[in-house]
């Protein structure tokens, strides 16, 4: 009989926090702070709204050139949804990401209706937003990091990439779900596969600089913040 193979625990500097533990508790002793930033909505300006279908979804370059970002706060104003928690619940419900206890079909329908009426594209879950990732990587480079590792969801595979290549060459950028982390393990950029936000993990000064430079919208994790923060 073959011996059962058990994977070693992943390096915490290289993976997303799991769902069953407070985020800061998972990264304790590795990162000082964790900032959750929302994936923006997208508003096509000089490209057809109809292109944003699974079979014709446009490239990162076209999204950057021909679309504008809408923040969660802007979408709250357009939709009449009360707060970030409700918006997160509605987005999760729309992808069947919540069970019967927590899902809210009414919120999901409001989001769908507003997106159709206003020709807005809802955020994508589980991958870094095209409209933000370039600026974040450029700011990580400004922190002195010319190279960055990207790894798979479970920390079993990783590859070292030159930051400029990821910024300028869309074909080089890996398919989600992935984690991006610096060679000295001081910065981690990660996203949960079923969430419409990503997390920036580092010391507070570094995070503050990147958040301010990239106009990231979100919040710092508290000691009790979980991946499913909106239902707590």
Tokens of 182: 């610096």
Q: Quick one: 100 and 58 in the same domain?
A: yes
Q: In this structure, is residue 174 part of a structural domain?
A: yes
pLDDT tens digits, residue range 148-162? 999 998 889 999 999
Supply the mean pLDDT for the chain.
91
Mean pLDDT confidence for 21-44 = 96
Question: Is it the case that residue 214 has pLDDT exceeding 80?
Answer: yes
- Residue 225 region, left (φ>0) first, then alpha (ψ -120 to 50), else beta? beta
Percent of all residues in the chain with a pLDDT value above 70, rounded to a whole number: 91
Look up the domain containing 193 and give its range.
Answer: 12-38+127-231
Q: Residue with structure tokens 């974040």? A: 136
Under DSSP, the state recorded for 8 is P
Mean pLDDT confidence for 124-134 = 89
Tokens of 222: 């508290």
Q: What is the pLDDT of residue 186?
A: 97
Phi, psi of 54 (to 5 degrees): -50, -40
| CB-based contact 17:228 (threshold 8 Å) | no
Mean pLDDT confidence for 37-51 = 85
Q: What is the pLDDT of residue 75?
A: 97
Tokens of 33: 């702070």
Question: Is it the case that residue 203 has pLDDT exceeding 70?
Answer: yes
Q: What is the pTM of this model?
A: 0.92
Mean pLDDT confidence for 38-49 = 86
Q: In this structure, is residue 45 part of a structural domain?
A: yes
Q: Is 175 or 93 the better-scoring residue by pLDDT?
A: 93
Domain edge (last residue) among 118, 144, 170: 118
- The domain total for the chain is 2
Question: Kind and range of the H or E element at 111?
Answer: helix 105-118
Q: Quick one: 22 and 57 in the same domain?
A: no
pLDDT tens digits, residue range 66-111? 788 999 999 999 999 999 999 999 999 999 999 999 999 999 999 9
Q: Who's near 212: CB < 8 A, 6+ residues apart?
A: none
Q: Is 113 or 62 the better-scoring residue by pLDDT?
A: 113
Cα separation, 171 vs 137, in Å, equals 16
Q: Quick one: 145 and 219 in the same domain?
A: yes
Q: Is 35 or 8 the better-scoring residue by pLDDT?
A: 35
Q: What is the pLDDT of residue 5?
A: 85
Domain edge (last residue) among 118, 139, 155: 118
pLDDT band at 232 (very low <50, low <70, confident <90, very high): confident
SS3 173: coil
Domain edge (last residue) among 118, 148, 174: 118
Tokens of 2: 């073959």
Question: Is it the case that residue 174 has pLDDT exceeding 70?
Answer: no
| CB-based contact 141:168 (threshold 8 Å) | no
Tokens of 218: 């979100």
C-alpha torsion 18→21→24→29, nearest 10: -90
Cα separation, 66 vs 59, in Å, equals 10
């Amino acid at each position: 009989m073959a011996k059962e193979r058990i994977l070693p625990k992943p390096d915490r500097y290289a993976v997303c926090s799991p769902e069953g533990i407070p985020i800061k508790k998972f990264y304790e002793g590795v990162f000082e702070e964790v900032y959750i930033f929302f994936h923006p909505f997208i508003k096509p300006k000089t490209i057809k709204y109809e292109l944003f279908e699974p079979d014709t979804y446009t490239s990162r370059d076209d999204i950057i050139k021909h679309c504008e970002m809408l923040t969660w706060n802007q979408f709250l104003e357009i939709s009449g949804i009360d707060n970030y928690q409700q918006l997160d619940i509605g987005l999760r419900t729309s992808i069947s990401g919540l069970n019967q206890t927590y899902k809210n079909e009414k919120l999901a329908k409001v989001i769908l209706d507003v997106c159709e009426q206003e020709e807005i594209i809802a955020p994508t879950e589980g991958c870094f937003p095209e409209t933000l990732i370039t600026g974040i990587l450029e700011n990580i480079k400004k922190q002195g990091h010319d190279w960055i590792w990207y790894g798979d969801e479970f920390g079993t595979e990783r590859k070292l990439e030159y930051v400029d290549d990821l910024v300028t060459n869309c074909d080089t950028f890996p398919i989600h779900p992935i984690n991006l982390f610096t060679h000295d393990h001081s910065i981690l950029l990660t996203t949960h596969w079923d969430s419409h936000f990503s997390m920036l993990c580092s010391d507070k000064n570094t995070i503050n600089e990147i958040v301010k430079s990239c106009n990231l919208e979100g919040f710092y994790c508290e000691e009790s913040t979980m991946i499913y923060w909106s239902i707590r």
